[in-house]
Amino acid sequence: MNRFEKLWEGSVKVRIDGRGMERFFNIAAQRGIVIEKIETKEIPAAEYDGNRHDRYDNHVEKKELEKEDKKQGKTVCFEISPRNFKRLKPIARKTDVRLRITEKHGFPFWLILGRRRSLWAGGLAAFFLLIYLSSFYVWDISFDGNHRFTDEMLLHFMDTIPVQCGMRKKEISCGDLEKQIRNAFPEIGWVSAELTGTRLTVHVRENDGILKAETGSDAPCELTAGSDGTVTKIIVRNGIVRVKAGDEVKTGDVLVSGKLPIYDDSETLVKTNLVHADAEVYAETTRTVTWKIPVVEEIRAGTGKKRKGVFFKFLDTEFCFLMPDLKKESSWELFMEESQLRFSKILPSGLRRDPCCQGIYSLRKSPHKIRSFGFC
């Protein structure tokens, strides 16, 4: 009998007492009864004394009783199926041995136990039924490969489709979901959605956009100073420079002219071409910035007081269990961690928020330090 058959049919562990044990096993083997795990065990002293008196009352000869006492109260135990155990009863009567069931294992005995504890068995069956029914729904949505778009943005879009937690898996079409995401987000070039258990995973790959340099107008123009300062460096790409390093300029002064004169061999001005002035001009400028800083500063200092509790979330409904504030403190801050309940698969109990705490803060005033700022 293999392990599965043994679990399905059940097995009992039997203890045998009596003078005809050897004959008992011989007859059982002759009739083809399978007996497993035969072993010898010691009997407790009180139980052995009781068996001794029983045998003496049954008119067992004194010499044979003394021989049995020399065995130091040992007995034989073995395992057998319930069906074969019923076949052993006539053999036990024939060989004058006593059979006692000490242990029961297997599915049939669990059913008998369930009859006695119907509420326990019903609750266990309801638990596994709930797990089975929950496996037909999606309880978690995750994204992979998104950098430009956050999970919250994608979840908000999927709510409008709608694809959200708590939907049946057969109502979700992964192909349609992929098309809708690509149409709504042109920056996403590839989308793959898959259902694994009770989780919907969306893999995305965003387009690697090539930044193009902004091209301005090629109309003729001049470069003028935007503020007062001293020129330190000039790099001219197009146009005629009007200043040099070290010159002081005012707002509106021409730095690079867009008029390009053309001279002949006799250095006579022939014509003037108007070009688009292009240059990099570096200058030292002065800028005045004003801040209003209070004389004293309020600092939030932790007091070390904590309140612990548990938060549960089922779909869009949240349940809060937090220790009450007996002293009616008002300045509390909330910190918590979220994790998903799991049992082989993700459960519909949504999010379980681990025991969290709130730290109370007190405000105290301290002199504000004035710091200097530098600009370049």
Mean residue pLDDT of the chain comes to: 77
Q: Domains of the chain: which residue ranges? A: 3-110, 140-206, 223-284, 296-367
Q: Which residues pair with 254 in a beta bridge?
A: 224
How far is it, in rounded angstroms, from Cα 83 to Cα 85?
5
- Least confident interval from 79-88, 348-357, 360-369: 348-357
Is residue 75 helix, strand or coil?
strand
Query: pLDDT digit string (tens) for 332-364?
Result: 676 666 666 555 444 544 444 444 444 555 555
What's the CATH superfamily of 140-206? membrane protein fhac (3.10.20.310)
Is residue 44 helix, strand or coil?
coil
Report in angstroms the alpha-carbon separations of 351 from 152, 156, 170, 314.
16, 18, 23, 7
Domain covering 3-110 assigned CATH 3.30.70.260 in the classification: yes
Is residue 34 helix, strand or coil?
coil
Query: pLDDT digit string (tens) for 279-329?
Result: 999 999 988 888 887 777 677 776 677 777 777 776 667 777 777 766 666
Tell me the backbone φ, ψ of residue 200, rounded to 5 degrees: -105, 115
Sheet with 240-241, strands from edge to edge, namely 223-224, 254-257, 240-241
Residue 203: enclosing H or E segment and its boundaries?
strand 199-206
Contact 303, 360 (CB under 8 A): yes
**Angle in degrees, 0-180, between the axes of helices 174-184 and 151-159, rounded to the nearest 10:** 110
Model-wide pTM > 0.85: no
